[in-house]
Amino acid sequence: MMHRSNWLRILLALVIPMVLALSATLVGCGGGSSTTSSPSITSVTMSCTSNSVIAGQTATCTAVVQGAGAFNSAVTWKVTAGSISSAGLFTAPATATQVTITATSVEDATKSGSATVTVTAAAPTITSVTVSCAGNSVTAGQTDQCTATVQGTGAYSNAVTWQASGGTISSTGLFTAPAAAGQVTITATSTADTTKSGAATVSAVAAAPTVTAVTVTCAESSIVTGQTDQCTPTVQGTGKFSSAVTWKASGGTISDAGLLTAPSTAGQITITAQSVADTTKSGSYTVTVTAAEAISGVTLSCPESTLPQGLEEQCSASVQGAGTFDSTVTWQATAGSIASGLFTAPSTSGDVTITAVSVGDSTKSASAVVTVAAAQKAVFDYMGITHVSWWNTDYSTPQGVAAQDALAATSATWAGVLVTQYMDTKTSTTIAASSTQTPTDSDVEAAILEFHSKGLKVMLKPHVDVNDGTWRGAIAPSDVDTWFASFTTFITHYAQLAQANNVEMLDFGTEYATMSDGNLAQWTAVINAIRAVYTGKLTYGANATSAGDEFTSVTFWDQVDVIGLDNYFPLTNHADPTVEELVAAWKSNASGFKIVDAVANLASAYPTKPVIFTEIGYLSQAGTNEEPYAYGGSGPSDNTEQQNCYEAMYEVWSGSAVKGYFWWDWSTSTPSAGDTGYDPRTKPAQTVLQNWQ
């Protein structure tokens, strides 16, 4: 379309000549004078085809010049950014901004017009992706760094994803060639525009075969002279390497297939496999060759040459020979039973031959004779076992009743019944029952009733323990008189329970070592308070573990009916002593203390009062005879040592100055296999006490 200014110029070009001609006619006709006005510019206005242009794009701008007279309508163009042609074609700059476009009159430079155009950033576009790799040929298993070049417009992303038609390629373009030779296409695809990608081809070439290592293993690391051993090589390398090897042996012979034949003499043999492809690579293995097995004899020993009926002892056998021989034996016994050397004597007396036969050579054996002695019967007035529980209702449960009946079945004549109350700390002055740990009165009465029903006499055994773990023999009440008042309340309660249930004896105190040496007035008052409500026998269990222990310093022995010792004297200085060694230790123990003499002296000092062991017991644990009082213990399970300690006790003390005992202890639950506690139930020690009782 023709611009308005162009029309104006054409119109003026037509009109002006006509006006001049008319003016001349008029002058000529009228003879008057004439005047002509000079051109003037009044304004310049402009506009562009768009007020918003994308960076790098164009827009057409036009200017309109207005004025009077024969003025020049031409303009000059200026922009604050980008560029503009003389015809008004504006090209936007590369970055977003506001651009002012100005048109200035050529006729009158004081007259101009302007417009503002907004330049916006161009949308990013990906135009191409190209790929190049550092090398065009890569050895199998080696790497090649590839690079992607992304081109486009705007603020586009250079990110790509990589793919390889073989081998692997990392997210950074590191290509690892496959093991097989061939052409591999590496492709990089723009993440911004997945339609744009580039590719490069890399040749994967096979690696030259190399041997990197040789290792050797043999089926056996130790063989007997003359025997064979299969050895195997493992060859490692790259490419299509050969796994063939040649064999060498520093002794004996080895075949091409790696079968070693040991020499006739013992020693160390080095087996070497060398790579055929690369003789600098080899591996070796050492085989020990031992002399052929030859068993020369067997020896056998049993610690006890005489064993009571039903008891056990551990016999041992040793096999002698040359070479790597089998040291195991099979066991035989002409009576009783034997397994793994543990002999259980029969129930009849007589000689039993025990034989160990070599497994490696059955012509080699050894024998020993054990005399099985008839069971002896103990000479004691009190043959007891103390039934224990530290729970409030155990005694009256079916399990508890079963335990009581099992105790009665041992032929014991007495049963102790334990009940425990507690001090909070060693300095506390009050004693109180625990709602969970102290057996209830009805529970205690149920146990007493059950034992009485089975024909046993009962010793009630109230204990005071300390919640902080202090042994009762080390208590130190902050107020002695207040403690004795609380103790009197505690013990008279159980004295009344004992009286009501026809209990034959009350053990009113146990191992109060710090309180029994002195405090005679207080103990006299306690004993009088007990006798006021209880008519049965009274005993006190004094600690007895060494010379000068509590049993030698109790101030009130003359006021009790039965003198009680809690007998935990150490015996030998080693685990698993024989019965003979234990019997000797009672007479003079590892410390040189003459236990039998000391107890006899105590008994002779109080000839009208029987002396009994209110407690005696041994863990079923190795070393228990060394520290019988160490109730925690740390040794392994050992039923034989417990059994021997029981047997020695009967052999030493039956018919002596000691008139009885109460074994510690017999719980409400049956001991499990491997139990290391004091309870003899189901263990060989139970057989011992049943034989004697």
The 10s digit of each residue's pLDDT in 77-99 is 999 999 999 999 999 998 899 99
Q: pLDDT at residue 17 above 70?
A: no
Three-class DSSP category at 584: helix
Distance in angstroms (rounded) separating the CA atoms of residues 541 and 522: 17
Token pair listed for 86: 């003389």
CB atoms inside a 10 Å sphere around CB 530? 21
Q: pLDDT at residue 507 above 70?
A: yes
pLDDT band at residue 5 using 50, 70 and 90 as cut-offs: very low
pLDDT score, position 516: 96
Q: What is the pTM of this model?
A: 0.57
Mean pLDDT of the region 469-494: 98
Cα 20 from chain centre: 120
Q: Are 637 and 621 in contact (CB under 8 A)?
A: yes
Q: Is the peptide bond before 108 cis (omega within 30 degrees of 0)?
A: no
Token pair listed for 578: 């024989």
Q: Could you give the angle at the alpha carbon of 131 between the alpha carbons of 126 and 137, nearest 5°? A: 170
Three-class DSSP category at 581: helix
Token pair listed for 686: 């139970």
Q: Sign of dihedral through CA atoms 442, 445, 447, 452? A: negative
Q: pLDDT at residue 122 above 90?
A: no
Mean pLDDT of the region 610-621: 98
State percent of the chain over pLDDT 90: 82
pLDDT score, position 36: 53
pLDDT score, position 546: 96
Mean pLDDT of the region 260-266: 91
Q: pLDDT at residue 415 above 90?
A: yes
- Interacting residues of 481 by C-beta distance below 8 A, sequence separation 6+: 522
Task: Give which of 552, 592, 565 is closest to 649, Cα–Cα.
Answer: 565
CATH architecture designation of domain 382-568+593-618+658-670: Alpha-Beta Barrel (3.20)
Mean pLDDT of the region 243-266: 93
Domain at 215-290, CATH from 2.40.30.10, 1.10.150.120, 2.60.40.1080, 3.10.310.70: 2.60.40.1080
Q: pLDDT at residue 240 above 90?
A: no
> Rounded to a whole number, what is the largest CA-CA distance in the chain?
190
Mean pLDDT of the region 641-655: 96
The 10s digit of each residue's pLDDT in 151-160 is 998 788 999 9
pLDDT score, position 327: 93
Distance in angstroms (rounded) separating the CA atoms of residues 415 and 656: 21
CATH number attached to the domain at 125-205: 2.60.40.10
Domains 215-290 and 382-568+593-618+658-670 share a fold: no
Mean pLDDT of the region 467-483: 97
Domain coordinates in residue numbering, the chain: 4-16+41-120, 125-205, 215-290, 302-317+327-373, 382-568+593-618+658-670
Q: How far is CA 93 from CA 46, 59, 80, 477, 671, in A?
A: 20, 12, 10, 101, 98
Distance in angstroms (rounded) separating the CA atoms of residues 294 and 325: 6
How many angstroms separate the first and last alpha carbons of the chain?
Answer: 140
pLDDT score, position 632: 81
pLDDT band at residue 290 using 50, 70 and 90 as cut-offs: confident
Distance in angstroms (rounded) separating the CA atoms of residues 291 and 318: 20
Tokens 């290391």 map to which residue?
Answer: 676
How are strands ordered across the β-sheet holding 350-358? 306-308, 365-373, 350-358, 329-333
Q: pLDDT at residue 13 above 70?
A: no
The 10s digit of each residue's pLDDT in 303-361 is 889 888 888 889 999 999 887 789 999 999 999 999 999 999 998 999 999 999 999 99
The 10s digit of each residue's pLDDT in 381-400 is 999 999 999 999 999 999 99
What is the homologous superfamily of the domain 4-16+41-120 according to CATH?
A: Immunoglobulins (2.60.40.10)
Mean pLDDT of the region 252-259: 95
Average pLDDT value over all residues in the chain: 92
Mean pLDDT of the region 542-564: 97
- For the stretch 74-80, contacts whose Cβ atoms lie closer than 8 Å and that sit 24 or more positions apart, written own/partner, are 74/105, 74/106, 74/107, 75/44, 75/46, 75/103, 75/104, 75/105, 75/106, 75/112, 76/103, 76/104, 76/106, 77/101, 77/102, 77/103, 78/102, 78/104
pLDDT band at residue 569 using 50, 70 and 90 as cut-offs: very high
Phi, psi of 196 (to 5 degrees): -105, 125
Lowest mean pLDDT among 81-90, 285-294, 646-655: 285-294
Three-class DSSP category at 336: coil
Lowest mean pLDDT among 101-105, 180-184, 425-429, 600-604: 180-184
pLDDT band at residue 572 using 50, 70 and 90 as cut-offs: very high
Mean pLDDT of the region 651-675: 96
